[in-house]
Structure 1
Amino acid sequence: MSKLAYQRLDDLLELLAKQTTPLPMKELAKSFSISERTVRTDIANLNDLLSNVGATITLVRGQGYLLTILSKEQFNDWWTKSMSSADSFLTTSEERQAYLLFLLFKNETPLPLDDFLDQLFISKNTFYSYLKTARDNLMTYQLKIVNRPNIGFELLGNEFAKRQAISDLLIEKDLQEYLIGFTEMELALFDNIDLELLQDLELTYLAPLELLDSDYYHKNILSHFALAISRFLAGHEMTGFPLRVPILKQHAQKALCHFLDEIDQAFDIQLSSGEKEYFTYYLALNAPRLVETASTSNSSSETAKAIVDDLLHAIKRTSNFDWVEDKMLIEDLTSHIEGFINMNLMEARRSNPLLATIKKSFPQAYDLCLTHLEILGKQHGLYFSQDEVGYIALHIAGAMERNSSSAHRKYRVILVCGTGRAMSRIIEAKINKNYQETIEVVDRLSYVELQQHNLSTVDFVITTVPLEQLSIPHIYINMAKLDKEIVKIEHFIENFKGSKAEIYSLFYEDFFLHEDFDTKDQLLKKMTQQLFQKDFVPENFHASIMKREAINQTNINEWLAIPHPMSLLAKQSAVSVAVIPNGVDWGEGDLVKFVFLFAISKEDYEDTEEIYSLLLELMEREDIQQAILQNSEYKNFLEHIKQL
Structure 2
Amino acid sequence: MITILTSRMKVILKELMATSAPLTSNKLADRIQVTSRTIRNDIKALNEVLFKSGGFIKSTRGKGYQLEVSDNSRFKDFLQNMSEKSLSNDTPASPEERVIFILRKLLLANGYIKLDDIADELYISKSTLNHYDLIEIKQILKRFKLTLESKPHYGIKVIGDEMQVRFCISEYVFNRTKVPIETHHSDDILPKEEIDKIYTIILQEVKANKIEMSDVALNNLSIHFAIACKRITSEKYVLLAQEEVEEIYHLMEYQVAKQIVAKIEAALHVSFPESEIAYIAIHLLGTKKIAKINIPPQEFDAFVDHDVREAIKEIIFKVDERLKLQLVEDHELFIALGLHLQPAVNRLRYGMNLRNPMLDEIKAKYPLAFEAAVLASKVLQERLAITIDEDEIGYIALHIGLAIFRKKMEQGVKRCIIVCATGSGSAMLLKYRLQSKYPNQLQVVDTIDYYRFNEVSLAQIDFIITTIPIETKLPIPVLYVNTILGSEDLQHIGHYLQSINKNKRGFLKEDLIFLHKDLQTKEAVIQYLSEKLVTAGYVTASFCHSVLERERLSTTSFGNMVAVPHPLEPFSPETFWTICTLKKPIDWEGNRVQFVCLLSIGEDKKTDLNHMYEHLIDIIEDEQKVKQLIQCEDNGQFIEMINGML
TM-score of the superposed pair, with normalisation by structure 2: 0.67
Give yes or no for the alignment of 1:203 onto 2:203: yes
How far off is 1:580 after superposition?
2.1
TM-aligned CA deviation for residue 227 of structure 1? 2.8
* Map 1:313-328 → 2, pairs under 5 A: 313-328=317-332
Q: Distance in 2 between matches of 1:318 and 1:36?
A: 51
Letter paired with 2:549: A
Cα deviation code 1:169-204 (max 9, x no counterpart): 34466xxx36x6535648676653354543332222
Q: 1:404 to 1:193 in 2, by over 3 A?
A: farther
2: CA distance, partners of 1:82 / 1:6: 12
Q: Which residues of 2 match residues 232-311 of structure 1 at below 5 A?
A: 236-244=233-241, 245-246=244-245, 247-265=248-266, 267-273=267-273, 275-287=276-288, 301-311=305-315
**8 Å contact from structure 2 (residues 570, 600) kept in 1:** yes
Q: 1:308: Cα distance to partner?
A: 1.8
Q: Residue in 1 aligned with 2:293?
A: none
Within 5 Å, give how 1:526-605 maps onto structure 2.
527-528=529-530, 537=538, 540=540, 542-550=541-549, 552-553=551-552, 555-557=555-557, 560-582=562-584, 592-603=593-604
Tell me if structure 2 keeps the 8 A contact 1:143–1:161: no
Structure 2 counterpart of 1:182: 181
Residues 416 and 443 of structure 2 are in contact (CA less than 8 Å); yes or no, is this contact kept in structure 1? yes
Residue deviations 1:411-430 (CA, integer Å, cap 9, x gap): 9999xxxxxx9xx99x999x
1:395 and 2:399 matched: yes
The alpha-carbon distance between structure 1 residues 350 and 635, as it changes in their structure 2 partners (threshold 3 A), is farther
Equivalent of 2:168, from 158, 165, 170? Answer: 165
Over 3 Å counting, the alpha-carbon distance change for 1:316 and 1:60 in structure 2 is closer
The whole-number CA distance in structure 1 between the counterparts of 2:105 and 2:582 is: 40
After TM superposition, list the pairs within 5 Å mapping 1:213-224 onto structure 2.
216-224=216-224
User: Which residue type is aligned with residue 220 of structure 1?
Assistant: N
CA shift, 1:512, in A, is 0.5
Give the 3 Å change call, closer, same or farther, for CA 394–329 of structure 1 in structure 2: same
- Once residues 524 and 109 of structure 2 are traced to their aligned partners in structure 1, the CA distance between those partners, rounded to angstroms, is 51
CA 1:52–1:204 in 2, change beyond 3 Å: closer, same or farther? Answer: same
Cα distance in 1 for residues equivalent to 2:310 and 2:62: 75
Q: Which of 101, 104, 108 is the aligned partner of 1:102?
A: 104
User: How far apart in 2 are the matches of 1:633 and 1:36?
Assistant: 36
Query: Identity rate of aligned residues, in percent?
Result: 18
CA distance in 2, matches of 1:302, 1:370: 22
Q: C-alpha offsets along residues 448-495 of structure 1, whole Å, 9 cap, x if unaligned?
A: x985699x899999x99552x78x7457xxxxxxxxxxxxxxxx99xx
Aligned match of 1:51: 44
Distance 1:584 1:286 in 2: 39
Contact 2:574 / 2:602 at 8 angstroms: preserved in 1?
A: yes
- Deviation (angstroms), 1:354: 3.3
Say whether the 8 Å CA contact 1:199–1:222 is kept in structure 2.
yes
Partner amino acid, structure 1, of 2:259: H
Q: Is the 8 A contact 2:466 2:478 kept in 1?
A: no
Distance 2:62 2:341 in 1: 68
Letter in 2 for 1:52: A
Superposition deviation, residue 607 in structure 1: 2.3
State the AA in 1 paired with 2:576.
A
In the TM superposition, residue 63 of structure 1 has moved relative to its aligned partner by: 9.1
Question: Structure 1 residues 335 and 579 mapped into 2: Cα distance closer, same or farther (>3 Å)?
Answer: same
| In structure 2, distance between residues paired with 1:7 and 1:466 | 65
Quick one: distance in 2 between partners of 1:373 and 1:642?
37
CA spacing shift, 1:62–1:458, aligned 2, 3 Å = same
Question: Equivalent residue of 1:11, what SS?
Answer: helix
CA distance in structure 1 between the partners assigned to 2:10 and 2:493 by the alignment: 50
Q: C-alpha displacement at 1:594, in angstroms?
A: 2.8
Q: In 1, are the aligned partners of 2:166 and 2:227 still within 8 Å (CA)?
A: yes
For residue 629 of structure 2, what is the aligned residue in structure 1?
628
What's 1:482 paired with?
A: none
Instruction: Read off the aligned partner of 1:100 and give its amino acid letter.
Output: I
Instruction: Name the structure 1 match of 2:513.
Output: 512
Cα offset for 1:330?
Answer: 1.6
Retained in 1: the 8 A contact 2:563–2:597? yes
Aligned residue runs from structure 1 range 20-31, under 5 A = 23-25=20-22
Q: 1:6 to 1:147 in 2, by over 3 A?
A: farther
Matches of 1:215 and 1:497, distance apart in 2 = 43
- Residue ranges of structure 1 left out of the alignment (5+ in a row): 17-22, 29-34, 290-296, 415-420, 444-448, 476-491
Cα 1:39/1:250, change in 2 over 3 Å:
closer
Distance 1:40 1:382, change over 3 A: closer
1:574 positional shift: 1.4
Partner of 2:457: none
Once residues 115 and 353 of structure 1 are traced to their aligned partners in structure 2, the CA distance between those partners, rounded to angstroms, is 31
Q: Deviations over 1:253-297 (max 9, x none)?
A: 3322222222234x33233316434423433444599xxxxxxx9
> Which secondary structure does the structure 1 equivalent of 2:169 belong to?
helix
Q: Distance in 1 between matches of 2:610 and 2:597?
A: 14
1:205 deviation in Å?
Answer: 0.6
In structure 2, give the amino acid aligned to 1:227.
Answer: I
State the match for 1:349 in structure 2.
351
3-state SS in 1 of match to 2:542: helix
RMSD of aligned Cα (Å): 5.7
C-alpha contact (below 8 Å) 1:248/1:284 kept by paired residues: no
Kept in 1, the 8 Å contact 2:575–2:607? The answer is: no
Contact 1:507 1:575 in 2 (8 A): yes
Displacement after TM superposition at 1:133 (Å): 4.2
In structure 2, distance between residues paired with 1:154 and 1:375: 40
- The 2-side partners of 1:616 and 1:562 are apart by 10
Contact 2:113 2:157 (8 Å CA) reproduced: no
Q: 1:184 to 1:615 in 2, by over 3 A?
A: farther
SS across alignment from 1:98 = helix
Cα offset, 1:499, TM superposition: 7.1
Q: Which amino acid aligns with 1:382?
A: A
- 2-side partners of 1:215 and 1:545: how far apart? 43
Q: Aligned residue pairs: how many?
A: 567
Q: 1:593–1:556: structure 2 CA closer, same or farther, 3 Å change rule?
A: same
Q: Is the alpha carbon distance of 1:466 and 1:551 closer, same or farther for their aligned partners in structure 2, counting shifts above 3 Å? A: closer
* Whole-angstrom distance in 1 between the partners of 2:62 and 2:147: 53
Contact 2:562 2:596 in 1 (8 A): yes
**Shift of residue 497 of structure 1?**
5.5
Shift of residue 165 of structure 1?
2.4
TM-score by length of 1: 0.67
Alpha-carbon distance change, 348 to 187 in structure 1, aligned in 2, over 3 angstroms: same
1:330 paired to 2:360: no
> Structure 2: 5+ residue runs without aligned partners?
51-55, 291-300, 419-425, 447-464, 471-475
